[in-house]
Amino acid sequence: MTAPLLSVSNLTSGYGDVQVLWGIDLHVGEGEAVCLVGSNGAGKSTLLRTLSGLLRARAGRIEFQGEDITNRTPRQILGHGIVHVPEGRRLFGPMNVVDNLLTGAYLRSDRAAIRHDLDRMLTLFPILAERRYQAAGTLSGGEQQMCAIARGIMSAPKLLMIDELSLGLAPKIVDHLGAALRQIMAEGLSLLLVEQDVATAFELTSRGVVVDSGRVRISGPTEELSVNPMVQQTYMGIA
Ligand SMILES: Nc1ncnc2c1ncn2[C@@H]1O[C@H](COP(=O)(O)OP(=O)(O)O)[C@@H](O)[C@H]1O
Ligand SMILES: [Mg+2]
């Protein structure tokens, strides 16, 4: 097993009087790609929001590189190297692509390295280079997703968390995004991927965690989960 990067134990979270997560245990190793799958409303986005500090943990513990980061602020968590690409991308629509990418680096002061990473992202996603001075709000859904992921990487994270990679995108675009993610991962970045298309999720990651009603139902290597009859029937539409 790889060294633990993110380690979550007995995590509880929710909104107001509504408890959504009921004792989640999860870990992501150094350089590992893990997916989080489950039905609509299972609590996947709530889990990412709690990990990135947007929601308070009510109980449990979140450790990153051995340090307790439970209930740190979003800014502190970003500073530790955890970045959250939210569902629906949330780009700054009137701002152009390059300026959106640069907002990802707002906590950094290493100008030469920022410039280098910007060039790297424009090489990784040539369509973004073509559209670099175009308002992000005028990009296609797939281009916006590329821009959101690239913006996340501009923070120089250790762990990239993506909520709903493929939602609303054509299969060809999803393949393209997957290939780009593989390239980035080859450079050592770890990934926690929330993905409603379970087959895609299993293709892109080596370990999976299935969440049901705010609890981990089953977890394991994706090659095992993908042939598990319960997982196939309940989550992959395979009878
Ligand atoms: N802002 C919110 N306020 C209250 N309840 C919410 C909010 N966001 C999500 N929920 C509830 O939390 C549960 C989990 O939602 P969510 O984490 O978005 O699930 P998933 O991402 O797995 O589809 C659902 O029952 C949902 O209705
Ligand atoms: Mg969600």
Does ligand 1 lie within 6 Å of residue 1's CB atom?
no
Of 86, 68, 66, 88, residue with least CA distance to 76: 68
Does ligand 1 lie within 6 Å of residue 38's CB atom?
yes
Q: How many CB atoms lie within 10 A of CB 127?
A: 16
The rounded Å distance from CA 12 to ligand 1 centre is 14
Of 46, 34, 47, 40, residue with least CA distance to 208: 34
Does ligand 1 lie within 6 Å of residue 40's CB atom?
yes
What's this model's pTM, rounded to 2 decimal places? 0.96
Rounded Cα gap, residues 210 and 235, in angstroms: 9
Q: What is the pLDDT of residue 239?
A: 73
Whether the predicted pLDDT of 176 surpasses 70: yes
- On average, the pLDDT of the chain sits at 96
Domain boundaries, the chain: 4-81+157-235, 92-155
Share of the chain above pLDDT 70, in %: 99
Query: What is the rounded average pLDDT of the residues 158-179?
Result: 96
Ligand 1, closest atom to CA 48?
17
Q: What is the pLDDT of residue 89?
A: 80
CA dihedral 71, 161, 23, 237 (to 10 degrees): 160
Residue 84 burial by Cβ neighbours in a 10 Å radius (0-12, 13-18, 19+): buried
Rounded Cα gap, residues 11 and 47, in angstroms: 9
Q: Which of 46, 54, 195 to mutate to test the pocket of ligand 1 (most atoms within 8 A of CB)?
A: 46
Q: Which of 20, 21, 215 to mutate to test the pocket of ligand 1 (most atoms within 8 A of CB)?
A: 20
Query: What is the rounded average pLDDT of the residues 221-226?
Result: 97
- Given CA atoms 35, 72, 10, 50 in this order, what sign does their dihedral have? negative
Q: What is the pLDDT of residue 88?
A: 84
What are the pLDDT digits (tens) for 4-31?
899 999 999 999 999 999 999 999 999 9
1 confidence band (pLDDT: 50, 70, 90): low
Q: What is the pLDDT of residue 131?
A: 97
- Continuous H helices in the chain: 44-51, 74-80, 97-103, 111-124, 126-130, 141-153, 171-186, 198-204, 222-225, 229-235
CATH code of the region 4-81+157-235: 3.40.50.300
Rounded Cα gap, residues 86 and 200, in angstroms: 18
Rounded Cα gap, residues 218 and 75, in angstroms: 32
Q: What is the pLDDT of residue 205?
A: 97
What are the pLDDT digits (tens) for 87-146?
988 899 899 999 999 999 999 999 999 999 999 999 999 999 999 999 999 999 999 999
2 confidence band (pLDDT: 50, 70, 90): low
Which residue in the block uniquely carries the two structure tokens 């050592």? 188
